[in-house]
Amino acid sequence: MTVTIAIDGDNATFTFEKTAGTAIVVDTANSAARYIYPIRWQLFDEGSEEPIPYDDLTNGQKMAVLDKEITFHLHSMARTHWIGNAVDTAREAAEEEAEEKFLE
């Protein structure tokens, strides 16, 4: 998979691209969307409490499910990395302070 970032002024665009045979791409996308749809991203008709059956979704809705899932994971990984760095920095500062604060 090729991932690129294009920067245009104050905006940037992630592009994820994987080229393969049509059947493989379609089957992969459909299977991934079908898997995650009932777990996290169900869609509902306005006023309905029952989710739209997966087989009734448009291709656009199916791709929107994949977009949400990919975005979810990008955010989660970035957040986890940022928190880990903040924890490491705080730990290092606390260890340095403790060296000067307490008896040896």
- Concatenated DSSP letters for 74-100? HHHHHHHHHHHHHHHHHHHHHHHHHHH
Count CA atoms closer than 13 A to 21's CA, side-chain side. 3
pLDDT category at 28 given cuts 50, 70, 90 is very high
- The phi, psi pair for 8, rounded to 5°, reads -135, 90
- pLDDT at position 79: 97
pLDDT category at 39 given cuts 50, 70, 90 is confident
Question: pLDDT at residue 100 above 90?
Answer: no
Residue 52: DSSP 8-state: P
The average confidence (pLDDT) of the chain is 92
pLDDT digits (tens, 9 = 90+) for 76-88: 999 999 999 999 9
Residue type for position 50? E
Domain ranges of the chain: 22-101
pLDDT category at 59 given cuts 50, 70, 90 is very high
Give the other-Cβ count within 10 Å of 30's Cβ.
15
- pLDDT at position 43: 84
Question: pLDDT at residue 9 above 90?
Answer: yes
